[in-house]
Amino acid sequence: MTSEGIEKAVFAGGCFWCMVKPFKEWDGIVDVVSGYMGGHVENPTYEDVKKGDSGHLEVVEITYDPSIFTYEKLLELYWPQIDPTDAGGQFHDRGHSYTTAIFYYNEEQRKAAEKSKEELANSGRFAKPIVTDIRPAETFYRAEEYHQDYHEKEQQHYEEDRAKSGRDEFISEYWK
């Protein structure tokens, strides 16, 4: 899965631009890369994924040191970034490529993801069911370079898009 002592986790949470920053700012996180996973086309482009032609989801691949930042902590950080009850996309981004999923690399990650999903479902936080998929990891395809660290490269556009999305209002209502 990774180099000794370093592991990977992959999360789909709608637009990958909004999923990088929340993970990148922690000790123990080595890297966060925007990309695609879960489809049927090799080497998909952003256009393929956005049109829905490839079957992929927009994801972030997180490389982390589990001795500093555990997989369980990643899950705790993941859930409050999304609307886990929306099967049609996330916020103003609609369609399959923007749906939510946790991709696991091993049995420990699968069990931890299932447990966290069950705990969220039983918490009473949401009236609707939790629809986030938990799936085996597949080939990760790195997104085009202009998508990497978009929140830093195109800060004004990122902030405008995020403000229009409704994500922050949802987070404030359900997670703060």
7-13 vs 57-64, strand pairing mode: antiparallel
Q: Is 30 exposed, middle or buried (0-12, 13-18, 19+ CB in 10 A)?
A: middle
Using DSSP's 3-state secondary structure scheme, residue 155 falls into helix
Q: Which of 10, 12, 15, 101 is catalytic?
A: 15
Strands 133-136 and 100-104, sheet pairing: parallel
Q: Which pTM does this prediction carry?
A: 0.94
Q: What is the pLDDT of residues 127-156, one digit of tens each?
A: 999 999 999 999 999 999 889 988 889 899
Neighbours of 130 (CB within 10 A): 18
Q: Average pLDDT by consecutive 10-residue portion of the chain (176 residues)?
A: 82 95 95 97 95 94 97 98 97 95 98 98 96 98 92 90 92 90
Q: What integer pLDDT is reported at residue 3 of this predicted model? A: 62
State how far the Cα of 157 lies from the Cα of 1, in Å rounded to an integer: 35
Is 18 among the catalytic positions? no
Q: What is the pLDDT of residue 176?
A: 77
Task: Determine the Cα–Cα distance for residues 23 and 48; give it in Å rounded to an integer.
Answer: 26
H runs (alpha helix) in 52-136: 71-78, 107-122
Tokens of 2: 């990774």
pLDDT of residue 2: 53
Mean pLDDT for the chain? 94
